[in-house]
């Protein structure tokens, strides 16, 4: 049995760990709250924008397809994986990695073999994991996770749109964790470009809109906006998921530490009791010996 | 009789929400005013000032750089780029 001092040291170290994990849990909880607020701010905008595009899509004739809604003229597929700059958040990062692996070994297997799959990465942890797995990374946007602003997301979105238009890519997909609730995230693969137009229900008679200046130019200005907002929302979702995941895993770590301390305390007490019993036995043994002598 | 209900939304927050008497927006082809029972309209917005007179009689101004407005069945939505959603002092 380990001696008393060893056990005491271990108990102390586990206690420190527990303090750290529980502090991290608190921090994540606070950040999660903020991230959720951010999402709730952008959702009305996205849904209203989608509603307008939806209404407009029905008024467009087939000869004038929406910008970015046709498959790109390029040959490459871009996979943009979004996860985290930091670890300690359970399966958050690895789930994205697995999904990307699935994509390149299944849906885009042929393109990948031909070297026609480009992988963009957001998150230092993802970079490390891809490196270990020997998957090529083509560009990074870690900074977007540190300080997510609409402008910076819009800049990236514009860049993607430009590349797409000029023949850089035929398709852009996003892989990210969708925020379902604080304890649950789901990895999503979302097609970003070409833009899938919300389908209008045909039986609904469309109101005759007055369009200023005209449908085509409205669409031309709305679709890029929609794409920017979509990207921004995806980043926000991913951030909220990250904090949720970290909160859950830190909660579990704190629980485990508590369990561990309980066990250690028990063995500490046992060891202490054994030591005391031994000492008493020795003392009484000595006294007996003196009496008899 | 339903009032014209207006929402002014940016990607970061809802700037204004409520029944209004009159909305004046800088449309791509010129400023125009929307009152109750306006026909359905979608228009892009350009740089300019959005002027709102609320049902409470308070007049509000928002600066707009780019945006879009939709109005249908007395529900009006103004979507603006977020950097421009500054409320001006009266």
Contact across the interface for A45 and B66, Cβ inside 8 Å: no
Band of residue A203 on the pLDDT scale cut at 50, 70, 90: very low
Give the gap in angstroms from C-alpha A192 to the nearest C-alpha of chain B. Answer: 19
Contact across the interface for A221 and B10, Cβ inside 8 Å: no
Tell me what percent of the residues of chain A surpass a pLDDT of 70: 92
Domains in chain B, please, with CATH? 4-88 (2.60.15.10)
pTM for this entry? 0.85
Does the N-terminal peptide bond of residue A194 adopt cis geometry, omega within 30 degrees of 0? Answer: yes
Query: What is the reported pLDDT for B73?
Result: 87
Q: Does position A274 have pLDDT exceeding 90, yes or no? A: yes
Would you call A16 an interface residue with chain B, using a CB distance cutoff of 8 Å?
A: no
Q: Does position A208 have pLDDT exceeding 80, yes or no? A: no
Query: What is the reported pLDDT for B21?
Result: 92
Which homologous superfamily does the CATH classification assign to the domain defined by A4-25+249-288?
Answer: ATP synthase, gamma subunit, helix hairpin domain (1.10.287.80)
Would you call A3 an interface residue with chain B, using a CB distance cutoff of 8 Å?
A: no
Q: Does position B76 have pLDDT exceeding 70, yes or no? A: yes
Contact across the interface for B42 and A212, Cβ inside 8 Å: yes
Nearest CA in chain B to A217: B44
State the average pLDDT over residues B61-69: 88
Nearest CA in chain B to A229: B11
Q: Does position A146 have pLDDT exceeding 80, yes or no? A: yes
Q: Could you give the residue range(s) of every CATH 1.10.287.80 domain in chain A?
A: 4-25+249-288
Phi first, then psi, for residue A233 (nearest 5°) are -65, -40
Which candidate, A250, A253, A238, places its Cα nearest to that of A89?
A250
Q: How far apart, in Å, are the Cα atoms of A243 and each of A113, A185, A253?
A: 35, 10, 15
Strand partners, A82: A122
Would you call A222 an interface residue with chain B, using a CB distance cutoff of 8 Å?
A: yes
What pLDDT, in 10s, does the model give residues B6-45?
998 888 778 889 999 999 999 988 999 999 989 888 899 9
The per-residue DSSP string of A169-210 comes to EEEEEEEEEEEEETTEEEEEEEEEESPPPPPPPTTSPPP--E
Q: Which residues of B touch A222 (CB under 8 A)?
A: 44, 68
Tell me what percent of the residues of chain A surpass a pLDDT of 90: 46
Would you call A39 an interface residue with chain B, using a CB distance cutoff of 8 Å?
A: no
Hey, CA dihedral for A189, A192, A193, A199, is it positive or negative?
Answer: positive
Would you call A214 an interface residue with chain B, using a CB distance cutoff of 8 Å?
A: no
Instruction: Report whether CATH 3.40.190.10 matches the domain A28-248.
Output: no
With beta carbons less than 8 A apart as the criterion, state whether A90 and A51 touch: no
Query: What is the reported pLDDT for B4?
Result: 92
What pLDDT, in 10s, does the model give residues A26-60?
999 999 999 998 888 888 888 888 888 877 777 66
Q: Does position A276 have pLDDT exceeding 80, yes or no? A: yes
- CA A216: distance to chain centroid? 36
Band of residue A64 on the pLDDT scale cut at 50, 70, 90: low
Hey, CA dihedral for A111, A114, A116, A118, is it positive or negative?
Answer: positive
Q: Exposed/middle/buried for A51, CB within 10 Å: 0-12, 13-18, 19+?
A: middle
Query: What is the reported pLDDT for A110?
Result: 86
Q: Could you give the residue range(s) of every CATH 3.40.1380.10 domain in chain A?
A: 28-248
Would you call A150 an interface residue with chain B, using a CB distance cutoff of 8 Å?
A: yes
The per-residue DSSP string of A221-266 comes to HHHHHHHHHHHHHHHHHHHHHHHHHHHHHHHHHHHHHHHHHHHHHH
Residue A209 has its nearest CB partner, among B9, B14, B41, at B41
Average pLDDT of the residues of chain A: 87
């Amino acid at each position: 049995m380990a001696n008393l001092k060893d056990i005491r040291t271990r108990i102390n170290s586990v206690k420190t760990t527990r303090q750290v994990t529980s502090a991290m849990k608190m921090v994540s909880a606070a950040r999660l709250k903020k991230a959720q607020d951010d999402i709730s701010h952008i959702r009305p905008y996205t849904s209203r924008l989608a509603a307008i595009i939806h209404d407009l899509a029905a008024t467009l004739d087939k000869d004038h397809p929406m910008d970015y809604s046709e498959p790109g003229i390029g040959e490459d597929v871009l996979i943009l994986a979004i996860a985290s700059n930091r670890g300690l958040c359970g399966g958050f990062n690895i789930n994205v990695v697995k999904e990307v692996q699935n994509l390149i070994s299944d849906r885009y297997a042929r393109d990948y073999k031909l070297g026609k799959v480009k992988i963009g990465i957001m998150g230092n942890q993802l970079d490390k994991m891809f490196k270990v797995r020997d998957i090529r990374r083509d560009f990074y946007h870690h900074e977007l996770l540190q300080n997510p602003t609409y402008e910076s997301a819009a800049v990236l979105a514009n860049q993607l749109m430009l590349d797409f238009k000029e023949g850089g890519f035929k398709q852009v997909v996003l892989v990210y964790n969708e925020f379902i609730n604080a304890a649950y995230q789901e990895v999503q693969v979302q097609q970003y470009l070409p833009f899938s137009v919300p389908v209008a229900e045909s039986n609904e008679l469309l109101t005759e809109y007055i369009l200023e200046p005209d449908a085509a130019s409205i669409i031309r200005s709305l679709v890029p906006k929609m794409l920017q907002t979509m990207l921004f929302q995806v980043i926000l979702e991913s951030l909220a998921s990250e904090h949720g995941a970290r909160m859950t895993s830190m909660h579990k770590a704190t629980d485990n530490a508590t369990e561990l301390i309980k066990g250690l305390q028990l063995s500490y007490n046992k060891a202490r009791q054994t030591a005391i019993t031994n000492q008493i036995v020795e003392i009484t043994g000595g006294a007996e010996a003196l009496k008899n002598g | 009789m339903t009032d014209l209900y207006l929402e002014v939304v940016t990607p970061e927050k809802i700037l204004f929400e409520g029944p209004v008497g009159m909305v004046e927006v800088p449309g791509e082809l010129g400023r125009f005013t929307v009152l109750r029972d306006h026909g359905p309209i979608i228009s892009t917005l350009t740089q300019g000032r959005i002027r709102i007179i609320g049902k409470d009689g308070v007049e509000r101004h928002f600066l707009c750089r780019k945006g879009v407005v939709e109005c249908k069945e007395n529900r009006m939505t103004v979507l603006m780029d977020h950097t421009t959603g500054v409320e001006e002092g009266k």
